[in-house]
Amino acid sequence: MKYAPSFQRTNGFWPVVIALCIAAALPFFFTETHIRHILILIFVYAILASNWDLSLGYGGIVNFAHIAFFAIGLYTYGIAAKIIGLDPWLALLLAPVLAIAFAALLAIPVLRLEGIYVILVTIAAAQLLFQLVVSQGDFTGGTSGMVLIPRLEIVGYRLSSDGRIGYYYLSLLLVVFSTVFLYKLERSALGRAIKALRDNKYYAISRGVSEGRIRLLTLCASAIFPGLAGAFYGAYLRIASPDVFGLGFLTITLSILLLGGISTIWGPLIAAVVITAFAEILADYGASRSIIIAAMIIAVVVVYPGGLYAAMQEIWGLGTRLRTNVTAAWRRRFQASLRQEAMGVKDHLVETRHGPVSVCDTGNGDQTIIFVHGNSSCKEVFRRQFDEFAGQYRLVTFDLPGHGVSPNGNPDEDYAVEAYAEIIRNLVDSLDLKTPIVFGWSLGGYAALEYAARGTP
Amino acid sequence: MTLETFAFLLASGLVLGGLYALMASGLAVVWTTLGVFNFAHGAMIALGAYIAWQVTQYTTGGAGFLLGAGVSVAIMFCLGFAMHYVLVKPFELHANLVLLAVITTLAAASIMENAILLSWGPRDKQIAPPFTGNIEFLGTAIGIHDFVILAIALAALLALALFLRRTTAGRALRAVAQNREAAELMGFNVSRLVAMTIGLSAATAALAGVFVGSLRFISPTVGTDPLMKSLIVVILGGVTRFTSPIYAAFIVGLAEAFSAYFLVLYWAPAVLFAMMIIVLLIKPEGLFGRRTRTL
Amino acid sequence: MSAPLLELRGLSGGYPPVSVFRGVDMTVGNNEAVGLFGPNGHGKTTLLKTVAGLIDPRDGDIFFAGERLNTEGKMRPRTSRHLNYDLFRRRRISAESVVRQGLIYVMQGNLLFPEMTVEEVLDIAPQAARGRGGAAQMRDLVDAVFPRLRERWHSKIRFLSGGERQMVSIAAGLLALPRLLILDEPTLGLSPKLRIELCEAIAKIRAENVPLIVVDQNVEFLTSLVDRLYLFDHGAITREIDGSAMPSHEEVMTMMFGEAH
Ligand SMILES: Nc1ncnc2c1ncn2[C@@H]1O[C@H](COP(=O)(O)OP(=O)(O)OP(=O)(O)O)[C@@H](O)[C@H]1O
Ligand SMILES: [Mg+2]
């Protein structure tokens, strides 16, 4: 079963390629370490937020211990590389393993709970971990954290040399891997099961989706890249502090996720750029910066809960609608003769409850036949029937909203079989068609049935 | 353990319990009414403490303390009332209310904490405890101030309980919490009642803040620890009845006092959180609760 | 006939974006009892919730005692899927003001307030009638019609039986001093005995000249109670039957579903 087109053929392909090229080229334009540091931060936030979306958006599990995965990665790297003395690269790989193990442990209470209780138990788990970290000062450095954690090197080359360029590309690589991972996962059977559980739990279970297994897998999968990112962060900054458990870090990551838009892969990536850059612009304002950012977050959530990505899609959709509407108007205005040639009669707009539709009305006879066309078609498909029956019947056909030369409808209301049936009824009333025969083809057939089922009042 | 230590731990556990009860009932009232967890509760506690501190700068002594508490409670009530219209009301009917409210209340907490930082600076402050002197209790000296705090906290809880049970306005608040649509059909202004609930919650937070501020030092993030503690209390107790978090608060308060003595200091909170997870696993509705959430 | 008590003109509505009922015209005269009968799930409750102000109407008007309850004009369709319209749009009708006018809707299968006692519920019920007289008589009427409630005075609602809950709902509605009382399937899911008891109670209320709109699935009960009957089908009123010619259950079914129902 394959529903989704391959990535090369989606609308998103070129934007992603361009974004990648830009990201790969950026360090050549920005050589100051500070700006590169910001970019690396953006990547870390992007990984955290987009993977959080896996459990929160796609899985419907509101996991407030997500940041703890990051913290575990951070401390695993710190302890393994500094105290145990493991090779830093091995320590980097160990981090996600421990994060997954923690996710599996976390799944035990989460599987048994629902709704707000999941939020509470995950907060408790994160706090438990925080208390453990703080209390084990010998390993973790307690409240002051660990310093001088070993850095990453490739055959003697420090990734931090040349203005952190090595770390920049490593983090970019992590983002790419994480995004590919999420993209593939979302389109896999597992991804569909995850979404099915979120949308209709009992139906999904009755169709053989194992709730426990899928939720466990969701949590574990969402822990991999945050764990890696945590270890990366430790190697990059060379410190590990328990501040990562704080509400501040959580708030920023969660805002990135919610402002980007949940249940999207790209939204959190975009929001990570926007919010981090915005925070950087306001860097000089100290405490007021946090106030401004928080107020902005509230404003966006209150006004437009869908988030940035949804807004971008909606603006894109508006553009498409405008384009198609203009095309339809153009054709109505300047290509009327073409259509008249086909149908033998000029079409005109008739107002209905669902907006104006373009109607052809011809033939003579007491009995009317209404022809309703199918999905993605138009009224001109009936030109042969119009030729054939014009002598015996009055013939009426029309373009459904958004089809042929009818203007676009309102997506919430007008593209539904019920709406089409109502359009037919409106036409019957306004053109005085008495008791017509309704002929429907494909989608038009459903509309005709719906019209028939409603009876004539 | 001597009798004196026991008495001392008992007393401090009870005072802590009273404080936690005050914080947790404020949190629980909002939760039951809206189904929303108010992450700004901790910041409200901090803000309440700072407002009271400001008042005690002008008037000192017992009068200043009481005046500070009163002013702080009044201001925080209004703030809580207003918060409903900004943070919750706009997407009250949205399918993702719980999640959206999490982010708006977190953001509000950040705003309050940083506003405190801007207006009062990062340096620790303390509200001077107005009632000095000790009384003898089972052989140890316990500060009068602690007793006053416990008494006021209990009185406030009793007053809140009576308000909710006995007065028409309080019953209306409970009606909104239990069945919003039916309450609307009885002609209540549901929005205003919900805003009032948040206001009441903020008022209890302010009172708790005043007490916290007179027991320890206050800093802009002083609310974080109380927030987590009230969270534990609410989970342990459940929110079915107004009284259930109160019992749990005293259990937690006593447990904290005693475990700090028996265990290493750092372990006490970890034990509490582990306890909370276990309770959630075995009895998610809380030790004293039923599954439904009502006021 | 003088101006009607309640008049719906071309009322349409639903749960956006779904439209449930459209173009409903309906009147209730002063001192009249009107029945509404129709198949399950066709939108009667939705219509009445709209009249009660819980849901915004999409189009059309609601007049009660000569005053318009909704703001004029029609609801503009949403053009953005994610924009928070609740923020920008004023509600077109408010349950609070509808109830203050004395238009009381008793919800279908109402759970009321599970943790409150009968006494507490009936204590807050007259809220809507503040400033109007007649509370004492109404209290007597409630006592006379529902003597059972006194026996359960201090029980919580959640311990009551379905029938008793329905009684509390109706009693609460009465205590709000209705100028028009809307009962939505008051006998839903009751045992035959309780059902008869409740039907008698409603007849007693009617005998006190309280104007009513009653929805019920039992035509016999409806026809014995009401002056006029509206048949409601697929979100629209399909027929209006006058008091003089009240049909039997069979006849109504034939009218609605044809011979082979
Ligand atoms: N909250 C809601 N959101 C969306 N659709 C709803 C909602 N409540 C009801 N509906 C739908 O609206 C339609 C009408 O429901 P409604 O309850 O008004 O019917 P009814 O005529 O009262 O039925 P019954 O006789 O069973 O009480 C149904 O198809 C139902 O599925
Ligand atoms: Mg109904």
How is chain B split into domains, by residue range? 26-222
Task: Give C2's pLDDT tier (boundaries 50, 70, 90).
Answer: low
Cβ distance C186 to C167 under 8 Å?
no
CB-count burial class (<10 Å; 0-12, 13-18, 19+) for B249: buried
Chains in contact with B, where contact means 3 or more Cβ–Cβ distances below 8 Å, are A, C
Instruction: State whether residue C83 is helix, strand or coil.
Output: coil
Closest chain C CA to residue A411: C79
Distance C43 CA to ligand 1 centre (A): 5
Structure tokens at A115: 């709704």
**In what helix (H) or strand (E) does residue A181 lie, and over which residues does it extend?**
helix A161-187
What is the ipTM score, two decimals? Answer: 0.89
Q: Does residue C188 have its Cβ closer than 6 Å to ligand 1? A: no
Residue C169 above 90 pLDDT? yes
Contact A254 B224 (CB under 8 A): no
Going along chain A from its start, the domains and CATH numbers come out as: 7-303 (1.10.3470), 335-453 (3.40.50.1820)
Closest chain C CA to residue B188: C96
Q: How far apart are CA B224 and CA B32, in angstroms?
A: 21
Please tell me if residue A311 touches chain C, with a CB cutoff of 8 Å.
Answer: yes
Residue with tokens 């949403």: C78
Q: What is the pLDDT of residues A55-84, one digit of tens each?
A: 999 998 989 999 999 999 999 999 999 989
Residue B264 above 70 pLDDT? no
| pLDDT, average across residues B285-295 | 60
Contact C83 A411 (CB under 8 A): no
Closest chain B CA to residue C104: B185
Residue C257 above 80 pLDDT? no
Residue C134 above 90 pLDDT? no
Q: What is the pLDDT of residues B111-155, one digit of tens each?
A: 999 999 999 988 888 888 877 777 777 677 778 888 888 999 999
Going along chain C from its start, the domains and CATH numbers come out as: 6-257 (3.40.50.300)
Q: What is the pLDDT of residues A5-20, one digit of tens each?
A: 788 878 788 889 999 9
| pLDDT, average across residues B48-64 | 89
Among A161-165, C68-72, C252-256, the minimum mean pLDDT is found in: C252-256
Q: How far apart are CA B42 and CA B25, in angstroms?
A: 13
Q: Which chain A residues have a beta carbon less than 8 Å from that of B114?
A: 287-288, 290-291, 294
The residue whose C-alpha atom lies closest to atom 8 belonging to ligand 1 is C46
Q: How far apart are CA B243 and CA A370, in angstroms?
A: 69
Nearest atom in ligand 1 to the alpha carbon of residue C14 is 12
Q: What is the pLDDT of residues A335-388, one digit of tens each?
A: 888 888 888 888 889 998 888 999 998 888 888 899 999 998 898 899 888 888
Q: Are strands A157-158 and A239-240 parallel, antiparallel or unpaired?
A: unpaired
Choose among B118, B266, B281: nearest Cβ to A287. B118
Q: How many CA atoms lie within 13 A of A116 on its CB side?
A: 24
Kindly give, in sequence order, each residue whose CB lies less than 8 Å from that of residue A382, ignoring residues fewer than 6 positions away.
A343, A371, A373, A395, A397
Structure tokens at C60: 């059309």
- Quote the percentage of chain B above a pLDDT of 70: 94
Nearest atom in ligand 1 to the alpha carbon of residue C44 is 21
Q: What share of chain C is helix, strand, coil (3-state, %, to 5)?
A: 40, 25, 40
Q: Which residues pair with B212 in a beta bridge?
A: none
Contact B171 C84 (CB under 8 A): no
The residue whose C-alpha atom lies closest to atom 6 belonging to ligand 1 is C15
Q: Which chain A residues have a beta carbon less than 8 Å from that of B38?
A: none
CA neighbor of A38 nearest in space, from A253, A284, A272:
A272
Q: Which residue has the higher pLDDT, C184 or B256?
A: C184
Residue with tokens 């206001």: B199
CA neighbor of A363 nearest in space, from A440, A429, A437:
A437
| In chain B, alpha helices (H) | 3-34, 41-58, 61-83, 97-120, 144-166, 168-178, 180-185, 190-215, 224-237, 244-262, 267-282
Choose among C79, C83, C238: nearest Cβ to A410. C79
Q: What is the pLDDT of residue A1?
A: 45
Write down the mean pLDDT value for chain C: 87
Q: Which residues pair with A348 in a beta bridge?
A: A359
Task: Give A209's pLDDT tier (boundaries 50, 70, 90).
Answer: confident
Write down the mean pLDDT value for chain B: 86
Residue from C44, C58, C184 whose mutation best tests the ligand 1 pocket (most atoms within 8 A of CB): C44
* C12 CA: distance to closest CA in chain A (Å): 12
Q: Does residue C20 have its Cβ closer than 6 Å to ligand 1? A: yes
Q: Does residue C49 have its Cβ closer than 6 Å to ligand 1? A: no
Contact C111 B182 (CB under 8 A): yes
Q: What is the pLDDT of residue B266?
A: 65
Residue C259 above 70 pLDDT? no
* C195 CA: distance to closest CA in chain A (Å): 34
CB-count burial class (<10 Å; 0-12, 13-18, 19+) for B159: exposed
φ/ψ region of A164 (left if φ > 0, alpha if ψ in -120 to 50, else beta) reads left
Task: Give A176's pLDDT tier (boundaries 50, 70, 90).
Answer: very high
The Cβ of residue B61 has, within 10 Å, a number of other Cβ atoms equal to: 12
Residue B290 above 70 pLDDT? no
Exposure letters C45-63 (e unless 16+ CB within 10 A, then b): bbbbbbbbbbbbbbbbbbb
Q: For chain A, state the CA radius of gyration.
A: 30
Instruction: State whether residue C220 is helix, strand or coil.
Output: helix
Residue from C20, C54, C233 whose mutation best tests the ligand 1 pocket (most atoms within 8 A of CB): C20
Q: Which residue has the higher pLDDT, B162 or A365?
A: B162
- Quote the percentage of chain A above a pLDDT of 70: 98
Q: Are strands A368-372 and A394-398 parallel, antiparallel or unpaired?
A: parallel
Structure tokens at C83: 């924009």
Task: Give C261's pLDDT tier (boundaries 50, 70, 90).
Answer: low
Q: Does residue C223 have its Cβ closer than 6 Å to ligand 1? A: no
Q: Which residue has the higher pLDDT, A45 or A137?
A: A45
Q: Which residue has the higher pLDDT, B6 or A98?
A: A98
Residue from C12, C21, C22, C42 whose mutation best tests the ligand 1 pocket (most atoms within 8 A of CB): C42
Contact C128 B187 (CB under 8 A): yes
Q: How far apart are CA B146 and CA A450, in angstroms?
A: 74
Closest chain C CA to residue B189: C96
Q: Which residue has the higher pLDDT, C105 or A366?
A: C105
Contact A124 B96 (CB under 8 A): no
Q: What is the pLDDT of residues A390-432, one digit of tens each?
A: 888 899 999 999 898 998 887 777 888 888 988 998 899 898 8
The Cβ of residue A404 has, within 10 Å, a number of other Cβ atoms equal to: 22
Residue with tokens 């449930």: C20
Residue B84 above 80 pLDDT? yes
| pLDDT, average across residues A440-451 | 90
The residue whose C-alpha atom lies closest to atom 22 belonging to ligand 1 is C45
Q: Which B-chain residues 42-101 have CB contacts (< 8 A) with chain C?
A: 90-94
Amino acid at B152: I
Amino acid at B161: A
Cβ distance A189 to A196 under 8 Å?
no
φ/ψ region of A63 (left if φ > 0, alpha if ψ in -120 to 50, else beta) reads beta
**In what helix (H) or strand (E) does residue B125 lie, and over which residues does it extend?**
none
Q: Does residue C50 have its Cβ closer than 6 Å to ligand 1? A: no
Q: Where does chain C show beta strands of DSSP type E?
A: 6-15, 18-28, 33-37, 57-64, 67-68, 103-106, 180-184, 212-215, 228-233, 236-241
Residue A168 above 70 pLDDT? yes
Write down the mean pLDDT value for chain A: 89
Residues C242, C243, C247, C252, CA torsion sign: positive
| pLDDT, average across residues B200-223 | 92
Cis bond before residue A226 (omega within 30° of 0): no
**In what helix (H) or strand (E) does residue A57 lie, and over which residues does it extend?**
none
Distance C14 CA to ligand 1 centre (A): 9
Q: What is the pLDDT of residues C109-131, one digit of tens each?
A: 777 898 899 999 999 998 888 77
Contact B111 A248 (CB under 8 A): no
pTM of the model: 0.87
What is the secondary structure of A425-440 as a DSSP string? HHHHHHHT--S-EEEE
| pLDDT, average across residues C219-246 | 86
Nearest ligand (C-alpha, residue C107): 2
Q: What is the pLDDT of residues C19-32, one digit of tens each?
A: 889 889 999 999 89
Kindly give, in sequence order, each residue whose CB lies less than 8 Å from that of residue A372, ignoring residues fewer than 6 positions away.
A397, A398, A400, A420, A424, A438, A439, A440, A441, A443, A444, A445, A447, A448
Q: What is the pLDDT of residue B201?
A: 95
